[in-house]
Amino acid sequence: MSQLNRFFSSVFSIPRLSSFAALSLALTVLSCLFASPQAQAQTLTVLHSFLGGEGEFPTFGLVRDSAGNLYGTSVYGGIFGNCDNEVGGGTVYKVDPSGNTTSLHDFNNGTDGCNPSSTLAIDSAGNLYGTSYPTVFKIDSAGNFTMLFFFSNPADGSTPAGTLFRDSQGNLYGTTAGGGNDGCQSFGCGTVFKLDASGNETVLYAFTGGADGAAPVAGVIRDAAGNFYGTTVNGGNYACQYGCGVVFKIDTTGKQTTLYTFTGGADGQWPATPLVRDSAGNLYGVTESGGDLNCGKPHVGCGTVYKVTPAGNKSILYAFKAGSDGSHPTGGLARDSAGNLYGTTAYGGDAHNDGIVFKLGNFGHERVLHRFNNIEGSQPWGGVILDAEGNLYGTTQYGGSLGQGIVFKLAP
């Protein structure tokens, strides 16, 4: 299955992969500290367990406001009407610090679309911005919903996906998984777009499916000079079916530069999640597969954490082994002031194969912070966010009291 199809599966169905096993040794002289990714003493609190009416299957990650409220999207649940009578059209929800949960909007295939398809963005006034199929929307701090743009022309892009970036002038920047041209099996290879404060859309770049990549499903980030950075899950090197994916840069003139092309081997394949960037301009991300090719069936690898320098030099910071260290990282990374990286894998951890939360230090040492066991959550697809006290917050797509996912807090 192509990674683009896996993206659509995560939005419109219930994906599962097979399990894997094994774990490598580390430096002998420091074996007490580094021999295995032993779980650190962390306290997990289930802040909310989804029941259907307020949402089901929170696939994507969270944002947090200054008061400690958490906001997210659920792919299904809410109104069981025009989107899908069996599973619902999805929701935008709020969880306060006490765990009280409110549905801010239920999608019902009017001007709002169906099935929200990204982690939300939030501005300083508390307004939320996101994507659904096939819209860009805003929910203000009073809970009012506004459809900002409806993708109706394939040339504008189709199937908006990935977290939006908002600048100080109120412009939004994002990606679409398809559209922009008629390549990539006539679906279109995807776009990077700009939406101004008046709702006018401009395609900044349309991918061709060649060396520039295809299917940018993760959104973009921007540096102080106005350059954008992101990933495509397909295209680039076609050693992988539909291509192994790339890391790209788009400058202020709209010129696209492929910073790194994945090969599907030890360097990884299918980078489907957002990047993070440090003050030196280095980019960090994860690939769902590739890495240790002794892991996974048939030898596709269990995923990596990688770094790409501004010059396009890439290094693998960690390759997952599918044992207690987890497998298939699917959410974006969080980075603290010391340079440590935090993330999730959808699978692995223990015999339950329900995924983990991990910390990766500056020297590539992985420490497992939590292993899920289905009752408290399963398959944390959305990554984690980090607060000033070192608490991590995230979601699991499954598990909880009814198996419909949870919102969790992991305290140090």
pLDDT bucket at 296, cuts 50 / 70 / 90:
confident
5 pLDDT band, cuts 50/70/90, is very low
Mean pLDDT of 7-30: 32
Q: In the prediction, which pLDDT does 295 show?
A: 87
* pLDDT higher than threshold 50 for residue 8: no
Q: What is the pLDDT of residues 191-211, one digit of tens each?
A: 999 999 999 999 999 999 999
CA angle 375, 377, 383 (to 5 degrees): 165
Tokens of 94: 């709020």
pLDDT of residue 52: 87
At residue 12 the predicted structure's pLDDT band, cuts being 50, 70 and 90, is very low
Confidence of residue 268 (pLDDT cuts 50, 70, 90): very high
pLDDT in tens, 356-380: 999 999 888 999 999 999 889 999 9
Distance CA 163, CA 121 (A): 7
Interatomic CA distance for residues 156 and 203, integer angstroms = 6
Q: 126-143, pLDDT tens digit by residue?
A: 999 999 999 999 999 899
pLDDT at position 17, please? Answer: 32
HEC sequence for 21-51: CCCCCCCHHHHHHHCCCCCCCCEEEEEEECC
Q: What is the DSSP string of 82-127?
A: SS-TTT---EEEEE-TT--EEEEEE--SSTT-BS--S--EE-TT--
Burial, 214: exposed, middle or buried (Cβ in 10 Å; 0-12, 13-18, 19+)? Answer: buried
- 275/84: higher pLDDT: 275
pLDDT at 336: 96
Please list, in sequence order, all residues whose beta carbon lies within 8 angstroms of the beta carbon of residue 90, skipping any fewer than 6 positions away: 55, 73, 74, 75, 76, 77, 78, 83, 106, 107, 114, 115, 116, 132
Q: Tell me the Cα Rg of the chain.
A: 20
Q: How confident is the model at residue 189 (pLDDT cuts 50, 70, 90)?
A: very high
Token pair, residue 149, equals 């743009």
- Helix-then-strand count for the chain, H and E: 2, 29
Q: Give the pLDDT confidence score for residue 9 in this predicted structure.
A: 45
Q: Encoding tokens for residue 85?
A: 């009578």
- Amino acid identity of 235? G
Question: Mean pLDDT for the chain?
Answer: 89
What is the phi-psi region of residue 302: left when phi exceeds 0, alpha when psi lies from -120 to 50, beta otherwise?
A: alpha
Tell me how far CA of residue 41 lies from CA of 46, 258, 340, 357, 370, in angstroms. Answer: 16, 41, 17, 12, 8
Contact 268, 303 (CB under 8 A): yes
pLDDT computed for residue 19 by the predictor: 32
* Residue 40 pLDDT: 56
| Residue 184: other Cβ atoms inside 10 A | 23
Rounded to whole angstroms, the Cα distance separating 406 from 46 reads 7
In the predicted model, is pLDDT for residue 33 greater than 60?
A: no
Question: Is residue 24 scored above 60 in pLDDT?
Answer: no
Residue 21, pLDDT > 50, answer no
The per-residue pLDDT for 322 is: 85
- Tens of pLDDT, residue by residue over 43-99, are 999 999 999 889 999 999 999 999 999 999 999 999 888 887 778 999 999 999 999
